[in-house]
Structure 1
Amino acid sequence: MRLLIIDDDQALSRFLRRELKIQQYTADNAYDGEAALDLLRRESYDLMILDLNLPGMDGLDLLQQTRAIDPNLPVLVLTARSRKEDLVQALERGADDCLVKPFSFQELQARIRSLLRRKSVAAGPVGVSGVSGVVPKLSNLVIHTDERRVTRGDRKIDLTPREFALLEHLMKNAGKPVSRMTLMREVWNAPFDPSTNVVDVYMKYLRDKIDRDEERKLIRTVRGVGYVFGEE
């Protein structure tokens, strides 16, 4: 697995690269946004670790440009900004997970494994129905798991690994209300934290992509419960 570490703290970057190498990862370092974009355009990565406080180009701007280059690259944001608003903004710009500094290397490892596992599941050869390649469609929505591709009618829908995992879980439970607590446990591998709205943020992303300009909406909010996926 090849990782890209983007942090202007060169001592920390070298430490992470060294420790990740011990864990059998290959890692490249970039210390600013322009260097990172150059690597992203030339190389292929399995995951990106991004610090938001970069010289020159802000980490959030880099995150947005990264999504234009590779919409499916898992991105783990490192930040000293602990305000909930900053973390939500990072998620809204396309981050898959956030880790607040200071952090333990063990926690970083766990977050990396979780994101890579989600990416592997999203790209896996067997759909939620157990049929290789294609999940049976719901309305005109189809998940092609071999190609990690989602279509609705003639429209191709680009999803991040986290969004894909969320859609897959909703599809498994089509027609049944799914709580925010369940989604945090099954999609994020984390206990539910009532102080965060990360589930709602990602459901908004998914709804914007799945139901945009569609007469028949597939994602509905069940007040006080969570969400239902399916036609009314």
Structure 2
Amino acid sequence: MRILVAEDELDLQEAIAEGLRMEGYAVDTCSNGEEAYELAFVENYDLIILDLNLPQLDGLKVLEKIREENKEIKVLILSARSRVNDKVLGLDMGANDYLTKPFDFEELEARIRNLLRRKFVQENSILSCGEINMDLTKRSVFIGEHELLLTKKEFALLEYFLLHQERVLSQEELVAHVWDQNADSFSGVIRVHIATLRKKLKALLKNDPILTKVGVGYFITKNDGDT
């Protein structure tokens, strides 16, 4: 999943971004409202963490402009403004959640998981496809009774496949949601990660659930098949 962190306190911005990257998220950052607004429409984010006290364009104005164009993207306000009326205003303007500073990173990460889970699978924290079972809360994957050990990027890639089962995903879409803005969709990195993920899945499943539609992209299926 791809997240934008719009925060003008650079130390806090980097701490949040680094913590989320360690959890397997693709993270972009910015430190002013104008850039946050531009990135929200140029890139394909699954969630935006938005500080309210941003220079150039206030966070609430950024939220207002985003909601004029996009009702679906998840927005989590992160702010030192702790008064009830500030929270009510932010939520009424379209924020999906509001967390006040200072905060515990574990709570922030839990709220992010909840928002992303709500977006795709409502209350269910388990994604399944055939014998594949992914626990989004525990960040683990099992094939039957056997745990599948994945790198963070492999986990993020499999998560995106499981959230969009049976739909062909282009290389460009996978890069947009699983990698950050520094990724090069023509570098071959995605093919390498898909190849290693398929190898690990096939070792336990005895078949390859990720299929290729030549010239279009990849998709995951419950049915056995040849690539």
Secondary structure in 2 matching 1:54: coil
1:45 aligns to 2:45 (yes or no): yes
Residue 56 of structure 1, CA deviation: 2.1
Aligned to 1:28: 28
Q: Provide, for residues 89-120 of structure 1, a one-character-per-residue CA deviation record: whole Å limited to 9, x for no partner.
A: 00011100000100000000110000001001
**Structure 2 matches for 1:144-159, cutoff 5 A?**
none
Secondary structure in 1 matching 2:5: strand
Aligned to 1:78: 78
Instruction: Give me the TM-score of the superposition, normalised by structure 2.
Output: 0.53
The one of the two structures with greater contact order (alpha-carbon pairs below 8 A, sep at least 6) is 2
Secondary structure in 2 matching 1:34: helix
Secondary structure in 1 matching 2:91: helix
Q: Size of the alignment, in residue pairs?
A: 124
One-letter code of the match for 2:14?
R
> Runs of at least 4 residues of structure 1 off by over 3 A?
none
Residue 121 of structure 1, CA deviation: 2.4
**Structure 2 matches for 1:138-217, cutoff 5 A?**
none
Secondary structure in 1 matching 2:78: strand
Aligned to 1:134: none
Secondary structure in 1 matching 2:76: strand
Aligned to 2:158: none
In 2, the alpha carbon distance for the partners of 1:57 and 1:79 equals 15
In 1, the alpha carbon distance for the partners of 2:93 and 2:41 equals 19
Aligned to 2:177: none
One-letter code of the match for 2:36?
A
One-letter code of the match for 2:115?
L
Aligned to 1:19: 19
Aligned to 1:156: none
Instruction: Give me the TM-score of the superposition, normalised by structure 1.
Output: 0.52
Residue 70 of structure 1, CA deviation: 1.8
What percent of counterpart residues are identical?
Answer: 47
Secondary structure in 2 matching 1:39: helix
Uncovered stretches (5+) of structure 1, i.e. residues with no partner: 125-145, 147-232
Uncovered stretches (5+) of structure 2, i.e. residues with no partner: 125-163, 165-227
